[in-house]
Chain A
Amino acid sequence: MKCKLMLDRYLQMKNWIKITLVFAFLMFNLAGMAQKQRFPKPEFGTGYSQPTPVTPEPRALALEYTDVVVLLIVLSLASWFAIRKRSRKGLLWLSVFTLLYFGFYRNGCICSIGSIQNVSLTLFDPGYAISITTLLFFLLPLIFTLYFGRTFCAGACPLGAMQDLLIIKPLSLPEWLRKTLGVIPYLYLTFAILFAATGTDFIICRYDPFVGIFRMDAEFHMVVLGIAFILMGMFVARPYCRFLCPYGVLLNWMSRFSKYHLSITPAACIQCKLCSDSCPFDAIDYPTDEKQSKNTKWGVNRFLVYALLIPLWIFIGGFAGSKAHTWISKANPTVYLAELLLSKPEVRNDQKNLDVQAFLSSGKSLETLVKEATVIRQKFYSGGWIAGGFIGLVIGMTLLGQVVYRKKNDYQPHKGNCFSCGRCMNFCPVKK
């Protein structure tokens, strides 16, 4: 009886959830819109002169180093919780701290994910010098991952924490879908590097879906995106981490070679299968099915074909990338402006087009602009070959990975995909 009551309540609850979600969604949007309303500058007839806008001072160096120290501590704690202490609770509270500190207090910036772009820009533009803190934010998590697995994702990444805390009813996704969507982070990483290296844009930052929530201020479409990710994340656990995060690609690589990695069981797996459904991210590898992996002839043939196809994928990918460079380079503001002025000279009369007006009043000649744009486009051409080739390689390798069987006897986290969140540990009946 009591149970029935409970269930009724629960169903009622479900409706509430829906309504709330819709409202929350609406509200975030409205809040975002309201933020964008700008108030006209007052006009003073008296002697008052408008103060000139100033760029805020960069964060004091001491505080920047504090951030690095905090990161270091959080990383160490996360690794300790995941590997030595085996405490899911510890990781949970650590991620709450991370969310508050790196998310809401530091407004999602400085961020290891975004630091990829600073690193690429430094590598390609000698005029840009990366700050030591940014470099550390880029390197520290990678180094930790190389030793302890993705404990950064478990406890030190505010984006991950946000999503992890909002997982409500995770659904398991079929493997083909996971693997296919899994190509996206590579794409994103490639474009992020390409755009950063050409000085075009920092797309990781621009399209960070959560930063608007951290800052309580964002453009309308970004708020929509943020809410969409949160809503999706309630059912598809950590959607950004799994199907977008470009830093996750690097972490995944590092983690595969990690020296110590979280394990589900502290001792020997007794094949009880209790943990098999415990990972909301489908990151647990099951023991290999002997029957299937025996089917070797088919596997060997495919392996050979796929292995031989890899160079072809690289070449075709590179070719397509180089071909698409004209189009992609239009994302660069200089190229865009130059093309706009060339293809539509009448925009010069458009007082509302601020970019054009700024260019006109800068006194720079069209010739110089076009020259600059051509240089950038050239970079995109070579970048297109590399980026396309890399994506081709990723496709080729993913295919190859599908015909390779590695023998596994136990239930184990997939070292690359596991976020070391520690959920599965609680399901294991073996204690020491």
Chain B
Amino acid sequence: MEPENKLKFSLNIALVSGIFCITVALLLLLNFMQMSKNKPLESKALTSLVKRLSQEPNSDELKQEIRNFDLLARKAYFNSQWQVKTGGYLLLFGAIVFALSLRVFIGLKSKIEEPDVKDENDLTSRIMTQRWVMITGSVMIVLGLVASFASVDHLQKYDVNESLAETKSIDNQDKVEVIKVGEIPNATQPAIADSTKKLVAGNTAKVDTSKVKATLVAATKITFPGSNAIKVNASSFRGPFGNGVFFQKGTPVEWDAASGKNVIWKTSVPKKGFNSPVIWGNKLFLSGADQQSREVYCFDCNSGKVLWKQPVDNITGSPATMPKVTEDTGFAASSLTTDGNKVYAIFANGDIICFDMDGNRVWARNLGLPDNHYGHASSLVMWKDKVYIQYDTNKSRKLIALNASTGETVWETARKGKISWASPILADINGKFQVVLSTDPMVAGYDAESGKELWSVDCLSGEVGPSPASGGGLIFAANEYAKLVAIDPSKNSKVWESDEFLPEVASPVTANGLLFIATSYGVLACYDAKSGVKYWSKEEGPGYYSSPVIADNKLYTFDTSGKMRVYDMAKEAKLLGEGNAAEKVTTTPAFANARMYLRTSNFLYCVGKK
């Protein structure tokens, strides 16, 4: 071909391929606009069909129609996907032809020219190069140094925290703050006498002696309550022994915070906290905390008046700053426990404190800053002379028993497994009390006296929030993404398991051969406790954080929006009544004196038949 013709030819090809590219590009653009406008599965027709289906759920015709529609939409989608892909290839092909013809064209057009005299002066250019290379090198070095100052090494901080917590916990192991006391009258019980002797041994705090004397007199008279006394009170988180079953009669099934229906009183709690009320007699206990301080409150059950309010401070070994906790855990997530003589409270920084029923401080100590990425949340539970703490941190897992009178560590059982946020419960197994704990990977029972592990079944995983439940000789435990299991502790084995509905926060509860599970996505399910057969499930409300509990042989549930639903303890779902707190509820209600006590985000309610 003549060069002239070649030139023309390549130019024409370039033009044609250029136009081709633009056309394809336009088509692709159109296709893309269409695709992004119409979401195939959100078309009006389809939504209205689905809506209709919810009204007439059994219409097979409608179902078929939806399927056809759905198929069509999917076909259309993949069709346009195919178009995009093909269009892409066409475009690429066009672009290549375009580029090549253009190359040829430009190549042909350029003539051999007389080479320019090299205008770059070699020396100046070399100097310039040196300058720029030096600048580049220096900039990189400066950037490196700046980066080192601008970045925080969180990992190292973590280590520092860790070792801090570690050393502190070692230091404070048995350094119990003890209040100075006078002469002790003869003790009635040998165990008490023993512990009170230790009380005398230390003398640190400056406390009004008259008050202390009174305390001491009371202390000497202590007889720890038996299980019957515990059962008529609400001594721990989720009631007696932490098991979720309240032995009360005549509890209300209807109330409304907004209209005041069945609200006997309502009061605000000074400081925030996600702990649930614990009650003994006429006294209700809560705690509250923030970055700055921690407090324990005692309310009068009849009037809602604050009977006393005590700061939690001046504790040896307590860290100067509070640890990092998440918003929805806070610094006072753990519920208190009481034996009717004293009340015990634990906080996110590892402070644990004991007051008598009148608000006099009895002992306090710090267990070492817990390394817990949400914040310590496990509640306290007690039996006889021991307060049990599931003290799980990222560093170590322990079950600690403290002497209720002195705060000294009676024993400490190291556990394998991972950190958990569940609370311990006490289960009466063959006439002996065991402390039962849920953790990843195991549910295990420990002798309440000695702390010895009696049995352990590997069945859970993940970050365990729900506490176990006991009833009918079985232990029930569950966690989201894991399983719901029924364990026979005497045989150390699983009886049944299921993974259909799993709770994330709310604990299971069992009574009368029924087991209830409340999930964080709003399903309440009822099982046969012995066999695991599901009787019913119901999806209602935004989800449950508050644990379902049983009182007066009825199941009480609170969803996170604050709606209460009361169900019959039966094999069919039967709603007995409803209530509404009209604000967020994540705590668990307590029942006492035929009344229900509920802590919401902002208030404490007493609900009962007026």
A176 with B125: in contact, given A326-B153, A377-B155 (CB under 8 Å)?
A: yes
B535 at the interface (CB under 8 A from A): no
A413 within 8 Å of B (CB atoms): no
- Taking a contact as CB atoms closer than 8 A, the residue among A175, A274, A343, A366 that contacts B129 in the complex is A175
Task: Name A388's closest neighbour in chain B (CB-CB).
Answer: B144
Q: Is the CB of B326 within 8 A of A35?
A: no
Name the residue in A35, A373, A392, A395 with the highest tally of chain B Cβ atoms < 10 Å from its Cβ: A395
Q: Is B322 an interface residue (CB 8 A)?
A: no
Majority DSSP secondary structure for residues of A touching B: helix
Tell whether B394 is near chain A: CB-to-CB under 8 Å: yes
User: Which B residues lie within 8 Å of A228 (CB)?
Assistant: none
* A174 touching B120, Cβ below 8 Å: yes
* A26-66 Cβ-contact flags toward B at 8 Å (1 or 0): 11101101110101101000000000000000000000000
- Given A39-B74, A183-B133, A363-B418, A327 and B91 touching (CB < 8 A)? no
| B115 and A24 form a contact (CB under 8 A) | no
Q: Is A361 within 8 A of B374, CB to CB?
A: no
The chain A residue sitting closest to B94, CB to CB, is A24
Name which residue of chain B comes closest to A177, CB basis. Answer: B132
Question: Roughly how many angstroms separate A388 CA and B148 CA in the complex, as a whole number?
Answer: 13
Say which size band chain A's interface belongs to. 35 or more
B-chain residues with CB within 8 Å of residue A6 when the two chains form the complex: 7
List A81-140 residues whose CB lies under 8 Å from chain B: none
Interface size bracket, B side = 35 or more
The one of B21, B81, B103, B326 in contact with A345, judged by C-beta atoms closer than 8 angstroms, is: B326
Partner of B140, one of A20, A174, A391, A403: A391
A10:B462 contact, CB within 8 angstroms: no
The complex places the Cα of A146 from the Cα of B129 at a distance, in Å, of 28
Smallest Cβ-Cβ distance to B91: which chain A residue? A27
- Alpha-carbon separation in the docked complex, A335 to B21 (Å): 46
Among B425-475, those with CB < 8 Å from A are: 440-441, 461-463
Any chain A CB within 8 A of the CB of B419?
yes
- Is the CB of B61 closer than 8 A to any CB of chain A? no
Q: A409 to chain B: which residues have CB within 8 Å?
A: none
What string of 1s and 0s marks CB contacts (under 8 Å) between B61-104 and chain A?
Answer: 00000000010001001000100110111011001101110110
Interface residue stretch chosen among B10-18, B246-254, B490-498, B563-571: B10-18
Is there a chain B Cβ closer than 8 Å to A281's Cβ?
A: no
**Interchain CA distance A30-B105 in the complex, whole Å:** 30
Q: Which residues of B contact A399 (CB under 8 A)?
A: 130, 133-134
| A9 at the B interface (CB under 8 A) | yes
Give complex CA distance A234, B325 in Å: 56
Instruction: Tell whether B582 is near chain A: CB-to-CB under 8 Å.
Output: no
The CA-CA distance from A413 to B462 in the complex, in Å, is 64
Question: Would you call A253 an interface residue if the criterion is a C-beta within 8 Å of the partner chain's C-beta atoms?
Answer: no
- Asked if B11 and A13 sit within 8 Å, CB to CB, the answer is yes
What 0/1 pattern do residues 249 to 278 of A give for CB contact below 8 A with B? Answer: 000000000000000000000000110110
Point out the residue from A13, A349, A374 that lies within 8 Å of B155, measured CB to CB.
Answer: A374
A213 close to B (CB within 8 Å):
yes
Q: How far is the CA of A192 from the CA of B157 in the complex (A)?
A: 29
Contacts A213-B92, A342-B157, A346-B326 given; indicate if A27 touches B28 (C-beta within 8 A): yes
A316 / chain B contacts, CB cutoff of 8 Å:
141
Chain B residue contacts of A343, Cβ below 8 A: 152, 154
Please name all residues of chain A whose beta carbon is closer than 8 Å to the beta carbon of B70 when the two chains form the complex. 42
A326 to B419, CA, bound (A): 28
B170 at the interface (CB under 8 A from A): no
Chain B at the A interface: mostly helix, strand, loop or mixed? Answer: helix
Q: Does the CB pair A23–B22 fall under 8 Å?
A: yes
- Which of A19, A31, A234 is in CB contact (< 8 Å) with B88? A31
Q: Is A167 an interface position by the 8 A CB rule?
A: yes
B58 lies within 8 A of chain A by Cβ: no
How far is A290 from B422 in the complex, measured between Cα atoms in Å? 85
Query: Of A10, A326, A348, A377, which one neighbours B148 at CB under 8 angstroms?
Result: A326
Interface residues in B23-79 by Cβ distance below 8 A to A read 24-26, 28-29, 31-32, 35-36, 40-41, 70, 74, 77
**Which of A20, A167, A374 is within 8 Å of B103, CB to CB?**
A167
B536 interfacial by beta-carbon distance below 8 Å: no
* Contact assessment for B134 and A174 in the assembled complex, using a CB-CB cutoff below 8 Å: no
CB-CB nearest in chain A for B109: A10
Q: Are B157 and A16 in contact (CB under 8 A)?
A: no
Question: Once the chains are docked, how many angstroms separate the CA of A213 from the CA of B93?
Answer: 12
**Is the pair B155, A335 in contact by a Cβ cutoff of 8 Å?**
yes
Q: Could you tell me the distance in whole angstroms from the C-beta of B302 to the nearest C-beta in chain A?
A: 39
Cβ–Cβ < 8 Å partners of A13 in chain B? 11, 14-15, 105
Contact, CB under 8 Å: B123 / A342: no
Asked if B328 is at the interface of the complex by the 8 Å CB criterion, the answer is: yes
Known: A174-B125, A343-B154. A16 touches B18 (CB 8 A): yes
- Least CB distance from B520 to A in Å reads 11
Count of A-B contacts judged by CB separation below 8 Å: 225
Could you say which of A27, A213, A273 has the most chain B C-beta atoms within 10 Å of its C-beta? A27
B118 to chain A, nearest CB (A): 6
Contact, CB under 8 Å: A286 / B118: yes
Stretch of A71-79, A149-157, A198-206, A317-325 on the interface side: A317-325
Chain B residues lying within 8 Å of A313, measured Cβ to Cβ, are 137
Answer yes or no: A11 CB below 8 A from chain B CBs: no
A19 to B102, CA, bound (A): 14
Are A179 and B129 in contact (CB-based, < 8 A)? yes
Q: Which residues of A contact B152 (CB under 8 A)?
A: 326, 343
Do B132 and A346 touch across chains, with their CB atoms under 8 A apart?
A: no
With A24-B91, A35-B84, A366-B373 in contact, do A180 and B132 touch (Cβ < 8 Å)?
yes
Q: How far is the CB of A15 from chain B (nearest CB, A)?
A: 10
B84 and A34 within 8 A (CB): yes
Min C-beta distance of B483 to chain A, whole Å: 13
Whether A341 and B120, one on each chain, are in contact in the complex, defined by CB atoms closer than 8 angstroms, is no
CB atoms of A339 and B155 under 8 A apart: yes
Tell me whether A225 is interfacial, beta carbon within 8 Å: no
User: CB-CB contacts of A304-346 with B at 8 A, as 1s and 0s?
Assistant: 0000000001001100110111111010000100110111011
Q: Scoring B residues 347 to 381 as 1 if CB is less than 8 Å from chain A, else 0, what string do you get?
A: 00000000000000000000000000110000000
Interface pair B148/A339, CB less than 8 Å apart:
no
Determine if B145 and A341 form an interchain contact, defined as CB atoms under 8 angstroms apart: no
Which residue of B has the minimal Cβ distance to A6? B7
Residue among A167, A273, A316, A327 with most chain B CB within 10 A: A327
By a CB distance below 8 angstroms, the chain A residues around B36 are: 37
| Bound CA–CA A158/B520 (angstroms) | 53
Which residues of B (132-181) have their CB < 8 Å from a CB of A?
Answer: 132-134, 136-137, 140-145, 147-148, 150-159
A224 at the interface (CB under 8 A from B): no
A417–B547 Cα distance when bound, in Å, is 72
Q: What chain A residues lie within 8 Å of B142 (beta carbons)?
A: 320
Is B122 an interface position by the 8 A CB rule?
A: yes
The reply to whether the CB of A232 lies closer than 8 angstroms to some CB of chain B is no
Answer yes or no: B533 CB below 8 A from chain A CBs.
no
Q: Does chain B have a CB within 8 A of A292?
A: yes
Q: What residues of B have a CB within 8 angstroms of the CB of A365 in the complex?
A: 394, 418-419
Can you list 30 pairs linking A and B with CB atoms under 8 Å apart? A6-B7, A9-B11, A13-B14, A19-B18, A19-B22, A30-B28, A31-B84, A31-B91, A34-B35, A165-B99, A168-B99, A176-B128, A180-B132, A180-B136, A216-B85, A274-B115, A276-B118, A324-B143, A326-B151, A342-B158, A345-B326, A346-B327, A360-B462, A361-B462, A365-B394, A366-B373, A366-B394, A391-B137, A402-B126, A402-B129
- List the 7 closest pairs (A to B, CB-CB), nearest first: A320-B144, A323-B148, A395-B137, A327-B147, A27-B25, A324-B144, A327-B151
Query: Which residues of B are at the interface with A, using a C-beta cutoff of 8 A?
Result: 7, 11, 14-15, 18, 21-22, 24-26, 28-29, 31-32, 35-36, 40-41, 70, 74, 77, 81, 84-85, 87-89, 91-92, 95-96, 98-100, 102-103, 105-106, 109, 112-113, 115-116, 118, 120, 122-123, 125-126, 128-134, 136-137, 140-145, 147-148, 150-159, 324-328, 373-374, 394-395, 418-419, 440-441, 461-463, 481
Given contacts A16-B15, A30-B32, 15 further A-B contacts (CB under 8 A): A13-B11, A24-B25, A26-B29, A34-B35, A34-B81, A179-B129, A180-B129, A276-B115, A289-B122, A325-B148, A326-B151, A348-B374, A366-B373, A367-B395, A374-B156
